[in-house]
């Protein structure tokens, strides 16, 4: 079939426009990966802050898990220190709970310390998994340790955040992960904090409890994370086991009694159920934390401990815990 020159030119112009449109769409589409921690969004255009020092910004950081949203509050005077704040087992896909369940942003707004709050990672323990979870249709493999210790610090270095001048603190699942990350990446983390963390996961019944908790929080299969209970990955990620690697690291370790406190005033049957559940979870965290304390004491490794007489496994108490840890964090990081 032959085309006249005007028609041929028109066809070529249409094809060029289609290719151009595809090129615009692909960077966004390439970031679409299902599951917690991966949301379709363009990566940040480049190493240029859109807000001044001390301001809040949301970045999209590339990773094999997809583009990971990271909420950031920049250091007030351009300092290079950073505090990573890790979420709990039910980490959401849209916001890190430290940003709305606590006043962390206000507490550190005037300090020379960047807050780094990754979004997503439900039931991940912020670790590198063996495979995608095969009980909930997960379409990619969690690689959170790699993300938090390689991809994210390298990305933030473009914005003046040092990859070797970081602190890390988390609650519950995030508390366990904070100590794990600090133990195996001492070149990155100078400080670690655990609030209601599970710090003795080799204790009788703990592996089964974690299995049930992860199934409840998103339907995740723990075997896809660390393999069966006899796999060495369980020991590798147990703070009680790797405790010797924490020597010389400033630490804040907190767990409350599990008894209802000032923030526990349920006004409904659902509220009462949640409070009872939070009581049990905190009592378990306390038992784990006390065992971990005894382990550190036996090794002659100091840490700062806080064991409130009342308090359940819930955000108001973790907000208080962060406030208690704040002076130690700022002293260690020289970031007042």
Catalytic residues: 172, 282, 313
Are the C-beta atoms of 66 and 51 separated by less than 8 Å?
Answer: no
Are the C-beta atoms of 61 and 157 separated by less than 8 Å?
Answer: no
**What does the alpha-carbon distance between residue 207 and residue 203 come to, in Å, rounded to a whole number?**
8
Closest CA to 117 of 105, 131, 125: 105
Closest CA to 143 of 110, 121, 170: 121
Are the C-beta atoms of 85 and 178 separated by less than 8 Å?
Answer: no
Other C-beta atoms closer than 10 Å to the C-beta of 47 total 11
| Rounded-to-10 torsion of CA 151, 155, 157, 158 | 160
Are the C-beta atoms of 326 and 332 separated by less than 8 Å?
Answer: no
Give residue 113's Cα distance to chain centre.
17
Q: What DSSP line would sit under 256-313, residue for residue?
A: --SS--TT----SHHHHHHHHHHHHHHHHHHHHHHHHHHHHHHHT---EEE--SS--S
User: What totals of helices (H) and strands (E) does the chain contain, helices first?
Assistant: 11, 8
Two tokens at 17?
């426009």
**What does the alpha-carbon distance between residue 174 and residue 195 come to, in Å, rounded to a whole number?**
8
Closest CA to 258 of 213, 302, 288: 288
């Amino acid at each position: 079939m032959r085309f006249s020159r005007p028609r041929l030119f028109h066809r070529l112009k249409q094809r060029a426009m289609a290719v151009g449109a595809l090129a615009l769409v692909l960077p966004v589409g390439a970031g679409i990966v299902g599951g917690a921690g991966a949301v379709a969004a363009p990566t940040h255009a480049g190493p240029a802050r859109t807000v001044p020092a001390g301001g809040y910004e949301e970045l999209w950081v590339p990773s094999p898990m997809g583009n990971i949203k990271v909420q950031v509050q920049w250091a007030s005077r351009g300092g290079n220190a950073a505090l990573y704040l890790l979420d709990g087992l039910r980490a959401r896909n849209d916001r890190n709970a430290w940003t709305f369940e606590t006043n962390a942003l206000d507490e550190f707004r005037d300090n020379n310390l960047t807050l780094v709050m990754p979004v997503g990672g439900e039931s991940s323990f912020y670790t590198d998994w063996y495979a995608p979870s095969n009980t909930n249709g997960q379409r990619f493999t969690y690689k959170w340790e790699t993300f938090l210790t390689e991809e994210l610090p390298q990305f933030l270095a473009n914005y003046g955040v040092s990859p070797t001048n970081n602190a890390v603190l988390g609650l519950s699942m995030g508390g366990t992960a904070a100590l794990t990350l600090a133990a195996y990446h001492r070149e990155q983390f100078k400080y670690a904090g655990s609030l209601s963390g599970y710090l003795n996961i080799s204790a009788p019944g703990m592996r089964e409890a974690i299995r049930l908790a992860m199934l409840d929080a998103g339907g995740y299969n723990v075997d896809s994370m660390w393999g069966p209970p006899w796999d060495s990955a369980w020991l590798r990620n147990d703070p009680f086991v790797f405790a010797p690697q924490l020597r010389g690291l400033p630490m804040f370790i907190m767990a409350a009694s599990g008894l209802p406190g000032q923030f526990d005033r349920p006004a409904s049957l659902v509220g009462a159920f949640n409070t009872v559940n939070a009581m049990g979870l905190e009592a378990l965290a306390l038992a784990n934390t006390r065992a971990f304390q005894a382990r550190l004491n036996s090794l002659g490794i100091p840490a700062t401990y806080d064991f409130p007489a009342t308090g359940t496994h819930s955000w108001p108490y973790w907000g208080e815990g962060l406030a208690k840890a704040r002076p130690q964090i700022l002293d260690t990081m020289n970031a007042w």
